[in-house]
Structure 1
Amino acid sequence: MPTNEAKGRHLAVVLAADVAGYSRLMSEDEEATLSLLTKYQEIIAGLVAEHRGRVFNMAGDGVMVEFASAVQAVRCAVAIQRALGRRNIDLPERRRMMFRIGINLGDVIARGGDLFGDGVNIAARLQTLDEPGDICISASVHDQIVGKLSFACECLGEKTLKNIARPVRAYRVRSSMEPPVPITELQSGSLALPDKPSIAVMPFVNMSGDAEQDYFADGLTEDLITALAKFRWFFVIARNSSFTYKNRAATVQQIGSELGVRYVLEGSTRKSSDRVRVTAQLVEAETGHHVWAERYDRDLAELFALQDEIVDRVAGAIEPEMLRMETLRVRRKAPDNLTAWELIFRGMWHFYQFTPAEHRCARELFRKAIVAAPDIAEGYTWLGRCNAGTLFFRWSENPAGDMAEGWQAALRAAQLAETDPYAHYAVGIMSVVMGRLHRAMEAAQRSIDLSPSFALGYMLLGMSRLFLGRAGQAIEPFQRGLRLSPHDPLAFLWLHFLAFAHFLTGEYEESLQPALNAAAKRPDLPSTHCALVCCLVELGRQREAEQAAAEMQRNSSEGQEELGEFVSRFVNPEQREQIRTSLRKAGWQGNW
């Protein structure tokens, strides 16, 4: 008969995480340290659950987790270090809370929900070999992930661990992301593939013979992009860049090269009455090889199940294990009220026309969607985004009312859909408009936690940091967002924010190219010319700076007021004065 201890034995992957320098942090500020530890432990717990792990001990500043898969354990560790590292950037260096992580695969004893034995102890000892923010794994884990994960591993050799009888071969896993792609490379027309499976979803073609049905094909496309972007280890091109290929002849090889992706998803829709036909095909961009193709004839009521089926086929074709592990996370509840979704799809179409009249039309449709289905988050999300855009572009006829409505809608969206990055983006972009920049930054962080391919989340994070006076920390998120949406029609926003970030950091040469591009794309916006004038002045190109300042004056009848409002968003008075000083050097006569 096996003993009780033998019955409790099993193989497990154990992750041990511990805060580096925790005693020093506590001695300097106990309350702030405990508050930050609690927040970081919540983030860790969420990522553990997403990767199918189980926290079995969380004592003090340590976290112990059990996984059934070494691949998932390492993925989780990398996700933890990236999420916490992104947040630590916004803290003073001495207040940053950095974890060391060790991972081991070994025999453990289970007792009362806890785990014991050398399998656990080795994981705990491995993390002591780390530098803060690093991940150290045993050879038993390394053997399981070779050929399955793309993270670089460095062999540390045989290590003698405290109270462990035999030496353990250890490896350091590199958790840092790929360096951001420079602007010049983004504009080269040919982008390198990222370090994880990459895909672009082309706008589905409306085959209904009725241009009025374009909204349906566009809405289905955007929903598929949103669902695929929730797969943490996919790189998914953002909606705005994908839609630059609408009604444009381009080969899949050209699309793959211009967007820097391995796969392209194409398709079409034909909607009539209560029936819909959808075709979809996944193509390997470099070779043009069709990985799979399918035609679906369904009742309209089955649309959301159909979307899930297409997403499953894409994920399963690209990386089957990812499908098994993450598919439940990207699911959403099918609505009972299809009228609301019809209204939302129509509203999205009007929203993306980006004119005051179309935004007003979109807003009315989103309001009707909320009335039709008050428990669906998307109606509130889009209403919040719509009002934020109306306020940001100065199209509002009732700023106070639009602000109150947009804020309440965004909050309701996040309440109804806590795991939807777009809901948190709505909260964040409304927070920017309202000057609540710390709230905006937290919403941006949460949206990226949920979807690392969420381009809008990176733009929001960059904007929040820029306006808070952290220009140097704003550069990277702008660059990462632009890589996810390299052909975005709204790139002028990203580019002129990036230009200001370089300018305020003293990197005038780096500021020039994005400033030139932004001003060329939107010469009617005073803020795009402002960035250009500032960097030209500091580069000593006085005549060009004066010409740009004069053009800024000519192109906007409300330039003084609009530019003053924009510059007032920078909370650091020294940075506001830095911008004013450069403008005055170029002959700008603003009185704000």
Structure 2
Amino acid sequence: MAADVAGSCRLIGIDEEGTLARLKALRRTVFDPKIAEHRGRIVKNTGDGALVEFASVVDAVRCAVEVQRRMAEQNIDVPQDKRIELRIGIHVGDIIINDNDIFGDGVNIAVRLEGIAEPGGICISDDAQRQIRGKVELACVDMGMQALKNIAEPMRAWCVRFDVAVSTSMRPSAVTAQPLTVPGKPSIAVLPFINMSGDPEQDYFADGMVEDIITALSRFKALFVIARNSSFTYKGRAVDVKQVGRELGVRYVLEGSVRKAANRVRITGQLVDTATGAHLWAERFDGGLGDIFDLQDQVTESVVGAIAPAVEQAEIERAKRKPTESLDVYTLYLRGLARSYQFASRQANDEALRLFNSAIELDPDFASAYGCAAFCYVIAKFNGWISGTANEIAEVTRLAQRAVELGKDDAIALAASGQALMYVVRDLEAGAALIDRALVLNSNSAEAWYCGGWAKNWLGEPEAAIVRFARAMRLSPLDPRMSGMRVGTALAHFLLGRYDEAASWAAMALQYRPDYQPGLRIAAASNAMAGRPEQASQAVARLRQVNPALRVSTLKDVLPPYRRAEDISRYQEGLRRAGLPE
């Protein structure tokens, strides 16, 4: 059994002495006595957690349940932000004993299961669940296959529900439980789509689509996704999304329907905030039954690509409404994202970097925060706010390496770090490899496609860049980075000698951000090369108002190390013709 205090860094940050005193008291009055009562052996304490060995998995689970119930009692009169809540993971398997310590996969799996448990909750392995089945009167909710960090194969996991009464006649969907605690990161349940065709044969199609959507969403490490077996307990039932939110402990629900008519099929989907019942996103898809599985793939890709940004934006708005003194790590991260999307403001970018660093201080293992902090340096260099000194390069290298170490399977951390390594550190090969890895891990991430588009431009592969930017724009059509996607597409056309197309894409980018320096640069260069000196001159004039120090000779300070020297020469020549001083 692995136990750990949820959010201990945040609690210590609020009240170090008080938190440590309460931890000692709880260990003395609750944790240690319950371990002894159930014949457990505390192998070691880890400051805010413990590793415990039991001879029986039944003893381990019963002990965990009693500990969590006592902890909940202790927290009744404690404000939510000051509660000490344990997460507990339990696994049964081989261990290695050495000098009174224990090692091996059995220990590692228990620790990883603890990491995916809810605060105040218990997560057990499939092996443990099989051994307690019929021996303890507890409900277990199937969490499905879970990819555990540093564990080679995905494992099935179960959430122990000790807040419900269980009888042999109860179906999982009939269990009446207290509301679950909503996770500290965005959480979503995908409900079975309603088959409105009157044809039971279409159930397989609707169910398969939901399973695919759940699998695809699960690849986003920033999301907490309810497993299929729990979501499908609502099949065939009229549900209230607010009730679903309480029962599954999620903030968002995706629901939808499938209707077949003749040889056509219509699929609808809507994303709902379970707290307010507000619809955050809705879409309709039509297609022919002849290519029904292709249509299923298209719908899955479109839904997942739209949901991830919609959830992220909703979470950012929620974070903005939180009090500024909040020390919640994920809130700091979301506020950082909100600031970093204000690309045109140096002050906003500096504030974003500060927020990401604050999140890292509170949680040194937060991979995405490291990647986003490194990306702040990309934005700064893109806009000419930094020149890429040795100290800046060293810091970006440190942030990117840490993000990769902690987030080997985190597409956002890998993509952001890859672009930072390419653009600021000027390591094209290493950075491009990280971005490609991110796309393999999560082909639905607009962020990874966006970074991948820039990577292809810098590597001298503009045709591939156009494809990647198009994919990013399709997956996230309302993305705050849309101007950057359009500028990247403009640059790709420019490198291919398609100056009219480049000027058109640059104009679209500048519609929304008239002072965006990369947009002004490519607008000036492409119009000049297309033989439109007036438009080129206007773009350069605006560019020099925004950045009076920019010269053709200093352009290399804001451009990445293009693999092909002729690409930089072409860019410099375009700006020279547009009237930028040498």
TM-score range, shorter chain: 0.3 to 0.5
Structure 1-normalised TM-score? Answer: 0.43
Larger relative CO (CA 8 A, sep 6+): 1 or 2? Answer: 1
